């Protein structure tokens, strides 16, 4: 009996130890081993903020431009001009796998901030369309997209047909995660040629085919960045009341000389021939200005379908720099929706769509000049954020990524405090092409 009782007590003790092990000690061993052998897998709607950056870098490379975070740069102090930063370019050793991260679209949209946009009823009722041309890398375009993206807008990206196929594939994988983003690659663009206009027209056609009833179309390139939030752009477009914002001034001799002779295409550029072109119209018909603008929906339809637009396109197909006269001239044609026949010029600070500094402008460029235009750096931030224009040209991450990251941060924070950063609407009602809309009787 004693022996049986002893055995029973031993069994009870063994069971007790087993219970303690599995209840208390086993989880510790399991958790410790899992930290070494298991990767954190994020699912569903809840992604812990403290895991986002490390998870992203570990699994997908540095697709988010994080120069500001990596270097502990205070963008607010840069913008307030209370400190300066060295110029920091995007490291060539960085690896970004957009093709990989976009295989999980939900994760991609969450991590890159596409799903945390603040959208007002005003914006939803006034959708916009954007066309972006590029010929370089995909990552800067994805950054532009995440800055301007709203689910009710339309976006078209045209990748130069001569670019590395990986650029197109990367952006196509991004577009796969959205219903309102289209990526094309149909034209090999050539500097100062009609192909730049053709790429814009392709995106305009895609925009017109979309079921989104956008009100205005804005064209951009990959070296540009918005200076205004989506809400501010909408408010500016509403002030235009259907008018276009297209730089326009009478044609000068430089423009007319570009159209005197035919030009032939080579692989990378246009070559002037000695063959005279038959005149299309008198000098007074043509206008000159920027290739970029803010175009009303009615004007886009006019550009794509009117006989005068088709005839002008045909004439300009073999001249130098037609992108600086095509939209500008059509804007002044009688009956052009939203058009006008007055001067709107960057030089007189009348052009709303673009902020840029040319070598001859009376404004300081803290960056460097390339082909006579300023490439901004972070020391231009205090000036840039005060400008009334919609988009800034130019910025290059290969020169200074800080200015780009800080503008992204600035616009995001501004969108969260729209009631504090109220747009000065009175200013936009005083431009040459808007003031007649607000005449008091």
pLDDT in the model for residue 4: 55
Q: At what angle do helices 402-416 and 139-148 cross, to 10 degrees?
A: 20
In the chain, domain spans? 105-252+284-438
**Do 355 and 227 touch, CB atoms closer than 8 A?**
yes
pLDDT in the model for residue 47: 54
Q: How far apart are CA 426 and CA 438, in angstroms?
A: 10
Asked whether residue 421 carries a pLDDT value surpassing 80, the answer given is: no
pLDDT in the model for residue 124: 97
CA atoms within 13 A on the CB side of 76: 3
Q: How many whole angstroms from its chain centre is CA 436?
A: 32
Mean pLDDT for all residues in the chain: 86
Residue 311 pLDDT class (50, 70, 90 cuts): very high
**Do 354 and 389 touch, CB atoms closer than 8 A?**
yes
Look at the block and give the residue holding tokens 């970029």: 292
pLDDT in the model for residue 107: 83
Q: How far apart are CA 287 and CA 251, in angstroms?
A: 5
Structure tokens at 311: 């005839």
pLDDT by residue (tens digit) across 5-45? 556 555 555 554 544 444 334 333 333 332 222 233 333 34
Q: How far apart are CA 226 and CA 144, in angstroms?
A: 8
pLDDT by residue (tens digit) across 183-199? 999 999 888 999 999 99
Structure tokens at 205: 């056609």
Residue 386 pLDDT class (50, 70, 90 cuts): very high
Q: How far apart are CA 298 and CA 240, in angstroms?
A: 13
How many percent of the chain have pLDDT more than 90? 68
pLDDT by residue (tens digit) across 234-243? 999 999 999 9
Q: What is the pLDDT averaged over residues 367-391?
A: 96
Q: How far apart are CA 120 and CA 235, in angstroms?
A: 12
What is this structure's pTM? 0.86
Asked whether residue 408 carries a pLDDT value surpassing 80, the answer given is: yes
Q: How far apart are CA 354 and CA 192, in angstroms?
A: 19
Q: Which one has a higher pLDDT value, 12 or 84?
A: 84
Name which of 220, 211, 231 is nearest 295 in CA terms: 220
Asked whether residue 99 carries a pLDDT value surpassing 90, the answer given is: no
Q: How far apart are CA 300 and CA 201, in angstroms?
A: 9
Residue 249 pLDDT class (50, 70, 90 cuts): very high
**Do 176 and 157 touch, CB atoms closer than 8 A?**
no
Q: What is the pLDDT averaged over residues 170-176?
A: 96
pLDDT by residue (tens digit) across 121-169? 999 999 999 999 998 889 899 999 999 999 999 999 999 999 999 999 9
Q: How far apart are CA 111 and CA 62, in angstroms?
A: 12
| Helices (H), ranges, 21-89 | 26-37, 49-60, 67-70, 75-79
Q: Report the chain's C-alpha Rg in angstroms.
A: 28
Q: What is the pLDDT averaged over residues 382-400?
A: 95
């Amino acid at each position: 009996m004693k022996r049986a009782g002893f055995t029973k007590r031993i069994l009870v003790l063994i069971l007790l130890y087993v219970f303690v092990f599995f209840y208390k000690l086993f989880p510790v061993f399991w958790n410790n081993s899992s930290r070494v052998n298991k990767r954190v897998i994020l699912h569903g709607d809840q992604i812990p903020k403290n895991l986002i950056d490390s998870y992203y870098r570990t699994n997908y490379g540095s697709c988010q431009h994080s120069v500001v975070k990596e270097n502990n740069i205070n963008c607010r102090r840069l913008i307030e001009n209370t400190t300066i930063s060295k110029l920091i370019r995007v490291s060539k050793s960085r690896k970004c796998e957009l093709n990989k991260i976009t295989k999980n679209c939900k994760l991609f949209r969450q991590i890159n901030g596409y799903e945390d946009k603040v959208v007002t009823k005003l914006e939803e009722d006034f959708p916009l369309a954007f066309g972006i041309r590029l010929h370089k890398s995909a990552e800067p375009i994805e950054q532009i997209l995440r800055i301007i993206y709203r689910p009710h807008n339309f976006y078209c990206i045209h990748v130069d047909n001569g670019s590395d196929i990986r650029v197109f594939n990367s952006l196509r994988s991004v577009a796969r995660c959205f219903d309102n983003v289209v990526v094309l690659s149909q034209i090999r663009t050539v500097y100062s040629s009609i192909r730049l206009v053709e790429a814009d027209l392709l995106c305009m056609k895609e925009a017109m085919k979309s079921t989104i009833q956008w009100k205005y179309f804005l064209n951009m390139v990959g070296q540009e960045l918005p200076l205004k939030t989506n809400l501010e752009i909408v408010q500016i477009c509403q002030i235009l009341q259907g008018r276009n914002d297209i730089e326009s001034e009478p044609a000068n001799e430089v423009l007319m000389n570009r159209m005197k002779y035919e030009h032939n295409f080579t692989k990378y550029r246009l070559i002037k021939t000695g063959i005279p072109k038959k005149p299309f119209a008198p000098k007074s018909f043509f206008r000159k200005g920027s290739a970029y603008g803010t175009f009303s929906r009615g004007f886009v339809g006019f550009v794509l379908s009117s006989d005068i637009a088709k005839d002008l396109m045909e004439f300009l197909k073999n001249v130098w720099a037609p992108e600086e006269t095509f939209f500008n001239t059509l804007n002044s044609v009688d009956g052009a929706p939203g058009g006008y026949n007055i001067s709107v010029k960057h030089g007189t600070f009348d052009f709303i769509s673009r902020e840029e500094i040319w070598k001859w402008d009376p404004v300081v460029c803290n960056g460097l000049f390339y082909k006579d235009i300023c490439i901004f750096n972070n020391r231009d931030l205090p000036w840039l954020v005060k400008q009334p224009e919609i988009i800034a040209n130019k910025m290059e991450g290969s020169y200074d990524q800080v200015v780009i990251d800080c503008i992204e941060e600035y616009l995001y924070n501004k969108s969260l405090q729209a009631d504090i950063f109220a747009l000065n609407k009175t200013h936009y009602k005083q431009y040459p092409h808007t003031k007649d809309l607000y005449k008091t009787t």
